[in-house]
Structures are given as structure tokens and as C-alpha cells.
Amino acid sequence: MYPCSCSIQQWDSDEPIPRSELLAGVAGKHGLLCLLSERIDKEVLDAAGSNLKVISTLSVGVDHLALEEIKKRGIRVGYTPDILTDATAELSVALLLAACRRLPESAEAVKNGGWTTWKPLWMCGYGLSDSTVGIIGLGRIGQAVARRLKPFGVKKFLYTGSRPKPESAVEFQADFVPLTKLAEESDFVVVTCSLTPDTKGMCDKDFFSRMKKTSVLINTSRGAVVNQEDLYQALVSGQIAAAGLDVTTPEPLPTDHPLLSLKNCVILPHIGSATYATRSAMSVLAANNLLAGLKGESMPNELQL
Ligand code: NDP
Ligand code: DGY
């Protein structure tokens, strides 16, 4: 689609490129295709030098890119919105159901002998029917989550963001509310915002202290939006009922991390967009963004800096 002759230097492994290899390899290059696991900061940009004209990331999230520095240098950025929205929303719903209906804990009980007989209150959780769902960040993925949750009988949707979005909210009759009200009134809180200085640590001790004891937190955005120490305390003390995280800080989460000892916390290894079709479409889009940028043409998806 974007014919272009260029030579490629590739880190040909699923494992992250070592920092030293990245710094050496990027020197003098005109374009860089990167993953969300690579921090593209001043050091990398300096190592690349003035040839670098375009960065294409295989992600919709851009919190790993030093955007101010990139903008200052006149470098263009391509990213992969929309094509991963369905897969990520689907995973968000799966994680929500897994956490609120205690699926991993129940499946484990079948294997370890914990299942003795049918008992009236054993493995009870919380359902979506008649519930209030709060969405932090009613963007592409936030809306796609709400669309999928609505048929479960959700009574009310609330959302927060930097401004009301009546054009997006109308489909769900969702109310724009302050973060504190969203915490107080939601039975389920789903975090689907981007990670920015404003959203970093947004779900903290104060936030959890306002949530209902029967409420469930789901985070499929970025780990750093949630203060994990505060979340641990909220889960251990019964301040909230359960949590489901697809994203953590750091990634991977160390296997001895306290959150992993909790039955009421379901943690997945950042697999929101992990379907074969989605990852394949992301790869094609990221390559086309890069090629268009190298040719000085308009990119299929360019980030407005
Ligand atoms: P969008 O840009 O469409 O949505 C981001 C939303 O974040 C916007 O609605 C924005 O609202 C909201 N937001 C920004 N600042 C705030 C704030 N202070 N409070 C509340 N909301 C805020 O992006 P996508 O929906 O496509 O993706 C969202 C994020 O999901 C990505 O940035 C990425 O980090 C993550 N992601 C994770 C995946 C995974 O594998 N788990 C897969 C794909 C994405 P407003 O416009 O009002 O500012
Ligand atoms: C993204 O695109 O930002 C996700 O985290 C991975 O698909």
C-alpha cells in the first residue's frame, strides 16, 4: 500500500531489545518501529540523531514516548488506534466477569479439593444486573466496554474525563460526574483512560475509601493509573470486594508481589489486544505508518502532537 524502498535493521525476537542494542541500533536511522515495552526518551532520541523523522509504535498507548521532546525535534509519530478496540473491550469484560464472579478462584477449587458440595453462599460474587458501572475515560475502548456491558442489564453508566462527551455518552445515557461521585456510586469501576500526568495514581487511597465494600475495580489502561499499594490495602481490608488488572507496575509483576497472594485480585499479563487478528492488523498498520512517514506522506494513523 505504501511502496517504499528502505533497508531494515530488525531486532528479530519476541523478547525486548536490550537498551544498549537499541541505543546502538537506532543511530543514524530515519525511522523507528517500537513496542510499548521500549522507553523512547531523550537518550534514545539523542542516540538516533537528527536523521530520525518518524517513530511508529505498535500500540495505541503512547505513554512510553517522550512526546514533548519528540515534538520539539519535529519527529512524527504513528500509532494503532481503533483496530484493537474490540479485542481490548472484550478482554475488559472477560476480566470483569472473572473478578466479580470469582472464576479463577472457583476453577482452582475444583482442582484442589475445595469443592466439597453445593453450598448456598459458597463462591458467591456480584452480578451486573441492575448495577451502576463507572467508566474512567469514555474513549474508544471505554465506549466499546459500555456497549458490551449494557446487555447484561446495567442500570446506570457514569463516566469521568477531562470534559463531558455528550455525543459519546448518549448511546448509554451515561452521566458525566466528578471522580469522587463515580467512586461512591459505582458497583463496577472500569479504568480505560490513557496514562498521563493527570491520570497517574488516580485510583488511590482516597478513591478506594469512597468505593462501596461490594464494588469491583477493573483496570485495562496502564498500571500506573492505579496506586498498587493502596489497592492492596483496599482489597485486604475489605474496603472493596475485588479487582481485575490486565496492566500493572512494573510489567511483568514480580511473582512474589503481594497482590498475587490475594484471591480477590485477578491479574492478567497485559493481553488486552492479544488476538491473532488484532496483533496482525496492528503490525500492518504500524508498518504502513512508518513507511508513509518515511515518504513524507500522510500516515494512516498519525498522533497529533
Ligand atoms: P482514547 O484516547 O480513545 O481514550 C482515552 C480516554 O482517556 C479519553 O476518553 C480521555 O477522556 C480519557 N482521559 C484522559 N484524561 C483523563 C482524566 N484525567 N480522567 C479520566 N479520563 C481521562 O484511547 P483508547 O480508548 O483507544 O485507549 C485508552 C488506553 O487504553 C490507551 O491509552 C492504552 O493505555 C490502553 N490500552 C490498553 C490495552 C491493553 O492491552 N490492556 C490495549 C489498548 C489500549 P477525555 O477525552 O475527556 O480527556
Ligand atoms: C496498547 O496498544 O496501548 C496496548 O497496551 C497493547 O495493545
Q: What is the pLDDT along the chain (305 residues), one digit of tens a residue?
A: 555 678 999 999 989 999 999 999 999 999 999 999 999 999 999 999 999 999 999 999 999 999 999 999 999 999 999 999 999 999 999 999 999 999 999 999 999 999 999 999 999 999 999 999 999 999 999 999 999 999 999 999 999 999 999 999 999 999 999 999 999 999 999 999 999 999 999 999 999 999 999 999 999 999 999 999 999 999 999 999 999 999 999 999 999 999 999 999 999 999 999 999 999 999 999 999 999 999 999 999 999 99
Residue 204: the pLDDT is 98
Looking at the structure, do residues 221 and 257 belong to the same domain, yes or no?
Answer: yes
Looking at the structure, do residues 78 and 88 belong to the same domain, yes or no?
Answer: no
Residue 45: give the domain boundaries: 19-82+275-303
Residue 6: the pLDDT is 85
* Alpha helix (H) residue ranges in 19-123: 19-25, 42-48, 67-72, 85-100, 103-112
Tell me the ligand closest to 92's alpha carbon: 1
Residue 8 lies in a domain: no
Looking at the structure, do residues 67 and 149 belong to the same domain, yes or no?
Answer: no
Task: Output the CA 237–ligand 2 centroid distance in Å.
Answer: 32
Task: Output the CA 274–ligand 2 centroid distance in Å.
Answer: 9
Residue 12 lies in a domain: no
Which residue's CA is the nearest one to ligand 2's atom 4?
A: 59
End-to-end CA distance of the chain: 25
DSSP state of 177: -
Which residue's CA is the nearest one to ligand 2's atom 1?
A: 59
Looking at the structure, do residues 156 and 199 belong to the same domain, yes or no?
Answer: yes
- State yes or no: ipTM above 0.85: yes
- Give the number of domains in the chain: 2
Looking at the structure, do residues 137 and 197 belong to the same domain, yes or no?
Answer: yes
Looking at the structure, do residues 72 and 88 belong to the same domain, yes or no?
Answer: no
Residue 1: the pLDDT is 52
Is 64 an annotated catalytic residue? no
- Give the span between the Cα atoms of 174 and 157, in whole angstroms: 5
Q: What three-state secondary structure class fits 172?
A: helix
222: Cβ below 6 Å to ligand 1?
Answer: yes
136: Cβ below 6 Å to ligand 1?
Answer: yes
Residue 5: the pLDDT is 76
Asked if residue 215 lies in contact with residue 160, where contact means CB atoms within 8 angstroms, the answer is: no
**Ligand 2 atom nearest to CA at 58:** 2
Looking at the structure, do residues 97 and 66 belong to the same domain, yes or no?
Answer: no
Q: What's the full length of the chain, in residues?
A: 305
Task: Output the CA 40–ligand 2 centroid distance in Å.
Answer: 15
Residue 140 lies in a domain: yes
Asked if residue 96 lies in contact with residue 188, where contact means CB atoms within 8 angstroms, the answer is: yes
Residue 3: the pLDDT is 57
Residue 59: the pLDDT is 98
> How many Cβ atoms from other residues are within 10 Å of residue 54's Cβ?
23
**Which CATH number does the domain housing residue 32 bear?**
3.40.50.720
